[in-house]
Amino acid sequence: MTMLQHDVVDFTVPAFHNGKLEEVGKENLLGHWSVMFFYPADFSFVCPTELEDLQDHYEEFKKADCEIYSVSCDTQWVHKAWHEANDKIGKIEYPMLADTTATLARDLDTYNEQSGLAERGDFIINPEGKVVAYEVISSNVGRNAEEILRRVKASQFVYEHGDQVCPAKWEPGDETLEPSLDLVGEL
């Protein structure tokens, strides 16, 4: 079953964000673009490299009206401890969600019942709270923030220009295509 156009469940979870504990809910996703970035666990191996990569591109995501929410099944207290103990994680400015009941991981089908952890999954959520793009990959392969940002921008473009599509490697300013019978077999 596809997660495309899936309406994210109504939720409220604790989060660690900019040195404070707060709550984040579905209402925080609405009205702007979001990336829900699931990872298996704090104090692990590949995860800090991914979260640092997202932070290194965080300003670009914000310029694209897109908030990043990192999500694991760890508690907000573990997020805080990791933030204080690890230089890579200590740079993070986006909210780190504590999905301790796996509500979000189950809703977006990234929860691994055997390990009790979320798999690596990233979900691009439109301003209405619906999934428009996602990937879930093996827990030993890190992801690339630049590619996620490119997919956010392409998703935003087609959201605003429904009569056009973005070809492979499309970047803002590149040509798009208008699907038509005339293009069939020409590309």
- Measured CA to CA, the distance from residue 38 to residue 149 in angstroms comes to 16
Q: Is the predicted pLDDT of residue 119 greater than 80, yes or no?
A: yes
What H or E segment, with its residue span, contains residue 89?
helix 87-90
- Measured CA to CA, the distance from residue 83 to residue 116 in angstroms comes to 22
The residues, ordered by sequence, that sit 6+ positions from 71 with a Cβ below 8 Å of its Cβ are 36, 37, 38, 39, 96, 97, 99, 104, 105, 118
Q: What is the pLDDT of residues 65-81, one digit of tens each?
A: 999 999 999 999 999 99
Tell me the DSSP string of 129-166: SBEEEEEEE-TTS---HHHHHHHHHHHHHHHH-TT-B-
Answer whether 127's CB lies under 8 Å from 33's CB: yes
Q: What is the mean predicted confidence (pLDDT) over 136-150?
A: 94
Q: What is the mean predicted confidence (pLDDT) over 11-16?
A: 98
From the list 47, 66, 73, 166, the catalytic residue is 47
- What pTM did the predictor assign? 0.94
Q: Is the predicted pLDDT of residue 3 greater than 80, yes or no?
A: yes
Between helices 47-56 and 145-160, what is the axis angle to 10°?
Answer: 50
Predicted pLDDT at 182: 67
Residue whose entry in the numeric block shows the structure tokens 């609405």 = 30
Q: What is the pLDDT of residues 35-67, one digit of tens each?
A: 999 999 999 999 999 999 999 999 999 999 999
Q: Is the predicted pLDDT of residue 4 greater than 80, yes or no?
A: yes
Residue whose entry in the numeric block shows the structure tokens 């040509």 = 175
**How, if at all, do strands 66-72 and 33-38 pair?**
parallel
Domain ranges in the chain are 12-143
- Residue 66 annotated as catalytic: no
CATH number of this structure's domain 12-143 = 3.40.30.10
- Measured CA to CA, the distance from residue 171 to residue 184 in angstroms comes to 23
Tell me the three state secondary structure of residue 3. coil
Give the pLDDT band (50/70/90) at residue 186: low
Q: What is the mean predicted confidence (pLDDT) over 104-120?
A: 97
Predicted pLDDT at 184: 63
Predicted pLDDT at 1: 80
Give the pLDDT band (50/70/90) at residue 140: confident
Q: Is the predicted pLDDT of residue 187 greater than 70, yes or no?
A: no
Give the pLDDT band (50/70/90) at residue 139: confident
Answer whether 103's CB lies under 8 Å from 97's CB: no
Predicted pLDDT at 181: 64
